[in-house]
Amino acid sequence: MVAKPIVIDCDPGADDAIALFLALAFPEHLNVLGITTVAGNVPLSLTQKNARALCELMSVDVPVYAGCPRPLLRPLLTAEDVHGKTGLDGIHLPEPQMPLQEQHAVDFLIETLLRSTHKITLATLGPLTNIAIALIKVPAICQHIQEIVMMGGALTQGNITPSAEFNLYVDPHAAHVVATAGVPLTIMSLDVTHQAIATPERLHGIRAINSPISAATLGLLNHYGAYEMQRHGFPGPPLHDPCVIAYLLQPALFTTSRAYVAIETTSELTMGRTVVDRNHVTNAPPHANIAETIDVEGFYQLLTRAIAKLSES
């Protein structure tokens, strides 16, 4: 089997970090061509640094690119309350030695897509600014994208406003560009990621591994979990971004439905809302896969295997 070529666009971020662990543990299944970073959970200067530090922790040599430092139209909103001042509070990683790539993330995305003889999947774990700019700059890249699998949106309740999920609220205009680009789209909304709660029982296997990677996973979850448990009353932190990677590795862990999706960009009250026509009342052709449910135990087994595998090398 040929490994699926992917680019991961992210804003690490505790759950982004764990998503990177999951993605890079299985090179036989996912060929990570590059990691592009964007401003989101913390400013770009930190997300690009964090991505490099995480690659070094995993001893993987994947090029990291810095992308857009702010959303298309709105001022940048960050989430230090959730992820801490560094974006990776709860662990301490040494200053990365691995250089940041000189090329801009948007140009890397465009060049990689246009040059590849195979279609490439984009896994997006943060605000969609880089992807939107790439689509605007060279619309022809659409034909080279296998699929965009994004963490974003809320079918029911948001987490940054009652209407909106953080990634789409930070850059709703970029999300609109992506949702209307005509590219195959799979959406991991809060409604599915909130099913993937890291309860102490589900982390049992990872705790037993006892390696720098398992310690980092637990350290991140400790910090990020405290916020999520206090704020939302969850029995542990939800692993939003790793759901995207789990879908790419093992789609059978999820059930999905097809629906038309639009993003609210004008009303301040509902800014960034994912309007999902699950009942087909608009007659607009369904163009997105919406993840509905996740096999949570299967997901944690996969994550535990990933951490164990990374810990061997």
Residue 79 binding result from ligand BDR, Ca ion, none, given CB thresholds of 5 to 8 Å by partner type: ligand BDR
For the CB of residue 201, give the shortest distance to ligand BDR in the complex, in Å.
23
Answer yes or no: 173 catalytic: no
Q: Cβ–Cβ contacts within 10 Å for residue 107, how many?
A: 17
Query: What one-letter code names the amino acid at 254?
Result: F
d(C-alpha 281, C-alpha 260), whole Å = 10
Query: What one-letter code names the amino acid at 244?
Result: V
Q: Quick check: 4 binds ligand BDR (CB under 6 A)?
A: no
- Binding letters toward ligand BDR, positions 22-61, x by CB under 6 A: -------------------x--------------------
Contacts with ligand BDR in 140-159 (CB under 6 A)? 151, 159
Residue 82 binding result from Ca ion, ligand BDR, none, given CB thresholds of 5 to 8 Å by partner type: ligand BDR
Q: 293 in helix, strand or coil? A: strand
| Angle of CA points 253, 254, 259, to nearest 5° | 165
Q: Quick check: 165 binds ligand BDR (CB under 6 A)?
A: yes
Contacts with ligand BDR in 204-263 (CB under 6 A)? 240-241
- Binding letters toward ligand BDR, positions 86-125, x by CB under 6 A: ---------------------------------------x
Q: Quick check: 198 binds ligand BDR (CB under 6 A)?
A: no
For the CB of residue 308, give the shortest distance to ligand BDR in the complex, in Å.
24
What ranges make up the beta strands (E) of 38-116? 64-66
- Which of 287, 77, 254 minimizes the C-alpha distance to 179? 287
In 76-232, alpha helices (H)? 80-83, 105-115, 129-137, 166-170, 172-179, 190-193, 204-209, 212-232
Residues that bind Ca ion (CB under 5 A): 11, 13, 16, 125-126, 241
